[in-house]
Amino acid sequence: MPIYATLTPVGDRNYMVTDEAMLKEFEGLNRKIDQLVDANSRLIDEISNQSSLIAQLTAEIAAKEELIVAKDELIAELQRKNGMNSGNSSMPPSSDRFTKPKPSKINKGGNKVKKRSGGQIGHKGSTMKLKDEPD
């Protein structure tokens, strides 16, 4: 097979290109094209897998959002019930839970005065005396 040479102008210079060099160049380019086709098919498969994963996660998020809404409603209902007592509903006072009892009228629940132990100031006290001979 004869080898032909062609003169190829590149810029200001002319280069000699043989048929063998062109074949090697085409083979290299074909290998690169095959590699790109393989990479492209792998990427398409990965995109497909990711799309199905995204759809699955979107469905899970929607289900969890519904669950959150239901729990928010339950929390609001429980808070409403917890706020009820015998003063603001028709419930009897015995059903009041988790609340402090109302202060009595005597104590008034106001300032708590710390009392000292013993009798009143100015009062002379009396104490039993010890016997000289105990029984």
CA 3 – CA 15 distance, rounded (Å) = 16
pLDDT band at 1, cuts 50/70/90?
Answer: very low
pLDDT in tens, 14-37: 556 677 888 888 999 999 999 999
Q: Tokens for 122, please give them.
A: 């100015």
Averaged pLDDT of the chain? 80
- The Cα–Cα gap between 28 and 25 comes to 5
pLDDT digits (tens, 9 = 90+) for 63-78: 999 999 999 999 999 9
Which range scores top for mean pLDDT: 18-27, 33-42, 105-114?
A: 33-42
Beta strands in the chain (DSSP E): 5-10, 13-18
Ranges of each domain in the chain: 5-81
Amino acid at 106: I
pLDDT confidence band for 127 (50 / 70 / 90): confident
1 vs 83 pLDDT, higher one: 83
